[in-house]
Amino acid sequence: MQVIATDIPDLKIIEPRCFGDERGFFFESYSQQRYAELAGIGQDFVQDNHSRSVVGVLRGLHYQLGRPQGKLVRVVSGEIFDVGVDLRRGSPTFGKWAGVALSATNRRQLWLPAGFAHGFYVLSECAEVLYKATDYYSPGDEHCLLWNDPAVGIAWPFAGAVPLLSDKDRCGRPLADLPLFP
């Protein structure tokens, strides 16, 4: 397993070691001991989520304030551009974002600790995304950072195209208007 740094030290790309031949492949997608030792991810995961989206869909940027979730994200079919935004008020990287292409082909994962807004844009015809969460989903506690807030300036990979958004994501709020982590 290889841990790859991003511009935000707490946001990490995980590249599992894969064994493959003409029959297919095998890789360990998560090991609590190995992830704690090599990536510093020692949290317990309490919920697994699975989403399926078509090309052009943008989901996010979501976070829970009272019950913050750390997320370990991977793609089992297709490809996405996955993004984390640091919403921890005292952090030296507050308001900064980092993104990475995750795909079934590259098998990379993105670790987003609690305190980050998370979202992704679907690059392939269809994508299935799995993620492990460190706390349970709490709809009443969820907030949404506006995907195109100029104060954050995410460089989404869809030059000129308009992403497909849910009503909730369309109504996201700018960073300046959001409740934030201490």
Instruction: Provide the annotated active-site residues.
Output: 62, 131
Q: How many CB atoms lie within 10 A of CB 61?
A: 28
Structure tokens at 178: 């959001």
User: What distance in Å separates the CA atoms of residue 177 and residue 41, rounded to the nearest whole number?
Assistant: 30
Q: State the distance between the two ends of the chain, measured CA to CA, in whole angstroms.
A: 33
For 72, the 3-state DSSP assignment is: strand
User: What distance in Å separates the CA atoms of residue 135 and residue 64, rounded to the nearest whole number?
Assistant: 9
- For residue 139, the 8-state DSSP code is G
